[in-house]
Amino acid sequence: MKIFLLSMLLLTFSEMSFAQSPYYTLIGETTTQLKQEFGEPTTISKKNNLGEILYSYKSTIGYNGFFIYNGRVITAHMATYWGTRGQANKAFEECLKMYKNDGLKVVKKSGKSAICSNNQYSITVEMSYQNGRYSIIENAIPKI
């Protein structure tokens, strides 16, 4: 049984769509480029009266979301969902490791919340528990 669970966990981690490029590197790109990378969005909805539009893409373990303004991606978001706290903890640490591999630095970490940054992007990563499941929420914004 332990071997089965370990193999399932390894399979899950090998298929994760964690925050690595191109997820956040699409900030500043056009909706055409976004659709070339991810295809047609699962849903498109307005955020507010300013004209920002949310493109959402569902994945096997969560979703990706991109706010669009004047035809360009202005922020990028990702959420992944986990059945246990242990899975979420491992996913959180793996996520930070992948950001480091992408050249970002963890500039602040407190519990299960962190900010990763480089000269182009600032990305918050948070682990939370809500509605009976654990999640890792990632929000990327450009540095101005």
* Residues facing 117 on adjacent strands: 105, 122
Structural domain containing residue 69? 2-142
CATH number at residue 33: 3.30.310
For position 23, what pLDDT does the model report?
Answer: 83
Alpha-carbon distance of 48 to 52, in angstroms, equals 6
For position 21, what pLDDT does the model report?
Answer: 55
- Would you give per-residue pLDDT tens digits along the chain (144 residues)? 333 333 333 334 434 444 455 689 999 999 999 999 889 999 999 766 777 888 999 988 889 999 999 999 999 999 999 999 999 999 999 999 999 999 999 999 999 999 999 999 999 999 999 888 999 999 999 998
For position 34, what pLDDT does the model report?
Answer: 92
Domain count within the chain: 1
Q: Per the confidence metrics, is the pTM higher than 0.85? A: no
For position 1, what pLDDT does the model report?
Answer: 37
Q: In what order do the strands lie in the sheet with 113-117?
A: 43-46, 53-59, 62-69, 72-82, 133-142, 121-130, 113-117, 105-110
